[in-house]
Amino acid sequence: MAVVTFTTDFGPSDAYVGAMKGVVLSAAPHAVLVDITHAISPQDVRAGAWALAHAAPYFPAGSVHVAVVDPGVGGARDGIVIAAQGSFFVGPDNGLMSAAAVAPRRVFRIENPAFRREPVSPTFHGRDIFAAAAGQLAAGRPIDEAGRQVATVAELAMPESGALGDDCSGEVVHVDHFGNILTSLVSDHVDGRWELQCDGRRFELDGGRTFCDVERGALLLYPGSSGRVEIAVRDGSAARLTQMKAGMRVQLKRLS
């Protein structure tokens, strides 16, 4: 019984996700369907890549991960299926899956008519190509029947990780639903008093292990569940307070 997951920017208010699930179930009626998220900001490929990469490893081997954040739908980019880490990834070749489906991997274009739903809408490949291909994989069809094998995939540039030090810089890689700021810095322990600088603004904050280590409304620097150093406001939004966004550079300096 295959597990099929969905990561999209389609939102909760339209029928797009339901249509994709119907296509999968038509080919694999016993598949277990799981939503990773449909709340990716429209066209934000990097946020979609982050969500997929940080959820996919927790699913059982053999899972089929459908990812659709596709500003270039109907354009020159290919639709592909990837076998990596014992699971399958289906979506556009625009970098969306590169952080989750890391090498070693096998990549195939979706060309076989059996892996597509005809007629193919030029604006809804999520339903007519990606869901159709996922349904075939979930039904047990070999991935190499999808089409020609290709040597490379589009790689999404992601910030390089660096160790948290007494005076160091990094990048904001993600801002979550709570307004917590995930950085490119890594550490398994954070303590002391710190100065944060970003986009000309300065803040002081305490290092800690979890949110209750600071007073309500206070900034906190801590090692997050993703393994990255994060910035939060207890019972509030660090993103709103600091005006930090993904892609911004951040400087951290230990004060004590």
**CATH number for the domain that contains residue 135:** 3.40.50.10790
When divided into structural domains, the chain yields a total of 2
pLDDT(226) > 90: no
Compute the residue count for the chain: 256
Do the domain assignments include residue 26? yes
Sheet with 3-8, strands from edge to edge, namely 32-37, 3-8, 64-68, 87-92, 79-84, 105-109, 149-150
What does the longest C-alpha to C-alpha distance in the chain come to?
64
Do the domain assignments include residue 134? yes
Q: Are residues 136 and 226 in the same domain?
A: no
Q: Are residues 94 and 121 in the same domain?
A: yes
**149-154 CB contacts, 8 Å cutoff, 24+ apart:** 149/106, 149/107, 149/108, 150/78, 150/80, 150/107, 150/108, 150/109, 151/107, 152/107, 153/80, 153/82, 153/93, 153/95, 153/97, 153/98, 153/101, 153/105, 153/107, 154/77, 154/93, 154/94, 154/95, 154/98
- Among the candidates 119, 150, 181, a domain finishes at 150
Give the residue ranges of DSSP H helices in the chain.
Answer: 16-27, 45-55, 125, 132-138, 238-242
Do the domain assignments include residue 86? yes
Do the domain assignments include residue 171? yes
Nearest to 223 by CA among 183, 254, 256: 183
Tell me what the mean pLDDT of segment 238-247 comes to: 96
Tell me what the mean pLDDT of segment 218-244 comes to: 96
pLDDT(160) > 90: no
pLDDT attached to residue 157 = 86
Tell me what the mean pLDDT of segment 204-216 comes to: 97
The confidence band for 1, taking pLDDT boundaries of 50, 70 and 90, is: confident
pLDDT(187) > 90: yes
Q: Are residues 146 and 168 in the same domain?
A: no
Do the domain assignments include residue 216? yes
Nearest to 196 by CA among 215, 181, 174, 176: 181
Do the domain assignments include residue 143? yes
Distance of alpha carbon 37 from alpha carbon 238, whole angstroms: 22
Percent of the chain with pLDDT over 90: 97
Q: What Rg do the C-alpha atoms of the chain give, in angstroms?
A: 20
Look up residue 147 and give its DSSP letter: S
Do the domain assignments include residue 41? yes
8 Å CB contact between 51 and 40: yes
Query: Using one digit for the tens of pLDDT, what is the confidence trace for 52-104?
Result: 999 999 999 999 999 999 999 999 999 999 999 999 999 999 999 999 999 99
How far is CA 217 from its chain centroid? 29
Query: Using one digit for the tens of pLDDT, what is the confidence trace for 45-65?
Result: 999 999 999 999 999 999 999
Q: Are residues 19 and 132 in the same domain?
A: yes
Query: Using one digit for the tens of pLDDT, what is the confidence trace for 17-32?
Result: 999 999 999 999 999 9
Instruction: Tell me the residue range of the domain where 41 lies.
Output: 3-150
Q: Which two tokens stand for residue 255?
A: 């004060």
pLDDT(211) > 90: yes
Q: What single string gives the DSSP state of each residue in 12-63? A: SSSSHHHHHHHHHHHH-TTPEEEEEES-SPTT-HHHHHHHHHHHGGGSPTT-
- Among the candidates 122, 150, 178, a domain finishes at 150
- Among the candidates 120, 150, 180, a domain finishes at 150
Q: Are residues 139 and 77 in the same domain?
A: yes
Q: Are residues 186 and 62 in the same domain?
A: no
Q: Are residues 40 and 102 in the same domain?
A: yes
The confidence band for 158, taking pLDDT boundaries of 50, 70 and 90, is: confident
Instruction: Return the minimum-mean-pLDDT range out of 106-110, 155-159, 213-217.
Output: 155-159
Q: Are residues 126 and 167 in the same domain?
A: no
Do the domain assignments include residue 156? no
Write down the mean pLDDT value for the chain: 96
Distance of alpha carbon 64 from alpha carbon 104, whole angstroms: 17
pLDDT attached to residue 174 = 93
Q: Are residues 131 and 73 in the same domain?
A: yes
Nearest to 59 by CA among 88, 80, 20: 88
pLDDT(8) > 90: yes
Q: Are residues 113 and 197 in the same domain?
A: no
Q: Are residues 60 and 111 in the same domain?
A: yes
Q: Are residues 132 and 237 in the same domain?
A: no
How far is CA 219 from its chain centroid? 26
Nearest to 138 by CA among 23, 58, 246: 23
The confidence band for 159, taking pLDDT boundaries of 50, 70 and 90, is: confident
How far is CA 1 from its chain centroid? 25
CATH number reported for the structural domain that contains residue 206 in this entry: 2.40.30.90
